[in-house]
Chain A
Amino acid sequence: MALLEVRSLVKHYPVRVGLFSRRQAKAVDDVNLTVNPGETIGIVGESGSGKTTLARCILRMIEPTSGEVIFDGVDLLKLGQSSLRTKRRELAVVYQNPYLSLSPRLAVRDLVSEPLVTHTSLRGDALNDRVVENLEAVGLSADYLNKRSRQLSGGQAQRVAIARALVLRPKLIVLDEPTSALDVSVQAQVLNLLVKLRTELGFTYLFISHNLDVVQHLADRIAVMYLGKVVEVGTTDQVFSQATHPYTMALLAATPEPHPDRKASLVTVQGSVPSLTAPPTGCHYHPRCQWAVERCRHEMPALRLDEDRRAVRCHFPREYFQASKKFE
């Protein structure tokens, strides 16, 4: 059974345009997603694609407009406050900037013990031992117990945030751009740590990032989002070596690889991400797509599942794929 199943999730924000009229910004628009236990799902997209809003809806930090979030057999959106609180110990989150997500007033000891104090009856020495044990799991020693976040480097602070997330052994950890604020050498340390923890403790990750290279390092499957909609889902290898949606192909082409010999790709994107309050008609991607035809301007393609269990939201996915192969 799936650990997490997101069904037709929608989050609309009312936005004022002008003095009297209001429009809906469709931050997350009809998203379906399945996460199996032990699996790492990567969610990729540019700013404004709705990846963070999706995560916040799943954690119910914001209330979605409609849809279902079935976690471990229970619809989180139907839970009352007290049962939600109990359920929340099975979910954890790590944010991009540890200096903002960790309270500057609390020492590392208190930061890591807070979830334990809230959800368990551990106190005193037993609590302390558990905190040290978890700090060691993320590569920090007991020397850090009395430090505050500002005394730590970016990599150390992010390790504390990870320790805080895993201290209750949650079933699902949402990682929202956990390495985007870090330098490459430190990013590598944190990515290695996340892989190690997954192997040792069997965590399921929902890994959100704008960086395809970082996502492919961790993810088993990848969902690509564009303007609030999922446009392609597949295994990491499928998405990387045979992307079928033109947007995924463009993202891959735009990601600069640290290799000077790579030929310039013929897949290009014009323009920028359109406004969420006035998305283009038809396929949201058509104004930027080099292969768009008349049908794309009028008709929003459905997310179609193909024989390899990969899903793509495009009228002519195979044709594009073949076309791009021909160019190479």
Chain B
Amino acid sequence: MSLLEVRDLSISFSTSHGLFRAVNGVNLTIERGEIFGLVGETGCGKTVTGLALMGLISSTGRVTASRLSLDGLNLLSTRNWQNVRGRRISMIFQDPAACLNPTFTIGQQLSHVIRYHFHLDSAATHHRAVELLNDVGLSDAAHTLRTYPHQLSGGMQQRVMIALALASGAELLIADEPTTALDVTIQSQILRLLKSLRDKHTLTIILITHDLGVVAHTCDRVAVLYAGSVAETSSTVDLFRNPKHPYTQGLLGAMPRHGTRGKPLLAIEGSLPSGINPSVGCPFAARCPLVMKICRTDNPTLTPTENAHAIACHLY
């Protein structure tokens, strides 16, 4: 059985301008032990999807789905999120400095989480904290426990965030742009850490990112989101070798890389449609270079093709 199953997930927010549809009918299946990439540009709904899985959508938001199940547990009927949040699913964010409490040491913050989830005495808590810091690659754990967040570099802060996320024994980690605020050399260290945690601790990871380069190096499978819907989903290798959706092709063509110098990049003209009063038809129709008549009237559904590759496009 898959670890996480999401069917027809929709999230909307009531605003003073009307109902804002952030996510429209997203389907995801996450297998145990994989790193699943959720990739898209600003406003595509990747972060709200992550927040919805954590039960963190604020009261102005409305979450609907036909199925939202974690290992058989129905998250839709969950009243007691405390038993899921942290305990089963953890989440880390883009800016670790903003997530750590500046007034407590790393040791205090870490033992707080450990004690909340496991009833351990202080010696065992300390032992577990050291173990966690070693797991995330902070070798001088005894020293790190006594430091405050501002004394650590960005990369070390993100490692601490990962330790905090794992402290509860969660089986699913949602990493929301975990390396976007970090330098490339530190980014590659953190991505390597996430991969090794998956291998050693059989952790399942949903990696939310805007960077297709990060996806290529880290994820096993990937879903490309556009305007709150899945445009294309497949294995990572298949997506890069054989991108089918015009939006995915556009994103890949828009990336400058070695060899593109002097050549124009494939820019996707126009910008994201508004989530308020979205037009009928395919959300990408207005920017699509291959747009057809049917695209403006009918919204394509995500249709599976060979190799577990699925595309929401009338071309296929």
Contacts and interface: CB of A to CB of B under 8 A. Distances in A.
A238 to B, nearest CB: 13
Q: Indicate the member of B214, B216, B266 with the most A CB atoms within 10 Å.
A: B216
B268 interface: yes
Contact of B254 (A184, A240, A260, A273): A184
Contacts of A211: 184
A213 B42 CA distance: 20
Interface stretch (B49-57, B62-70, B197-205, B257-265): B257-265
A187 B42 CA distance: 12
B84 to A, nearest CB: 32
B186 interface: yes
A153 to B, nearest CB: 5
A216 B236 CA distance: 26
A210 B267 contact: no
Contact of A184 (B186, B214, B217, B255): B255
A126 to B, nearest CB: 32
B41 A240 contact: no
B148 interface: no
B18 interface: no
Nearest to A288: B185
Given A184-B255, A214-B256, A272-B155, A256 B265 contact: no
A263 B188 CA distance: 14
Contacts of B266: 188
A213 B267 contact: no
B211 A256 contact: yes
A186 B214 CA distance: 19
A272 B251 contact: no
A46 B184 contact: yes
B18 to A, nearest CB: 19
Given A183-B210, A192-B267, A254-B188, A213 B217 contact: no
B269 interface: yes
Determine the main DSSP class of A at the interface with B: helix
A46 B41 CA distance: 23
B265 A191 contact: yes
A211 B261 CA distance: 14
Given A192-B264, A256-B211, A213 B216 contact: no
Contacts of A260: 216-217, 236-237, 240-241
A269 interface: yes
A272 B254 contact: no
A188 B265 contact: yes
Contacts of B265: 188, 191-192, 217
A291 to B, nearest CB: 16
Given A192-B264, A192-B265, A272-B186, A213 B255 contact: yes
B257 A213 contact: yes
B288 interface: no
B183 interface: yes
Q: Which of B153, B185, B252, B268 has the most CB of A within 10 A?
A: B185
A250 interface: yes
Contact of B267 (A189, A236, A253): A189
A151 interface: no
Contacts of A212: 184
A184 B216 contact: no
Residue with the highest number of chain B CB atoms closer than 10 Å, among A236, A254, A268:
A254
A294 interface: no
Contacts of B188: 253-254, 256, 268-269
Nearest to A212: B184
Nearest to A269: B185
B268 A188 contact: yes
B264 A210 contact: no
B214 A188 contact: no
A183 B256 contact: no
B187 interface: yes
A218 B187 CA distance: 24
B156 interface: yes
A328 interface: no
Given A212-B184, A257-B217, A258-B215, 9 more contacts: A185-B267, A189-B267, A254-B185, A255-B213, A256-B188, A256-B191, A260-B216, A272-B153, A288-B185
19 contacts: A46-B185, A47-B183, A188-B256, A188-B267, A189-B269, A192-B267, A214-B256, A216-B258, A217-B260, A240-B258, A254-B184, A255-B184, A256-B211, A256-B213, A256-B216, A260-B217, A261-B237, A262-B216, A272-B186
Interface of A: 46-47, 153, 155, 183-189, 191-192, 195, 210-214, 216-218, 236, 240, 250-251, 253-262, 268-269, 272-273, 288
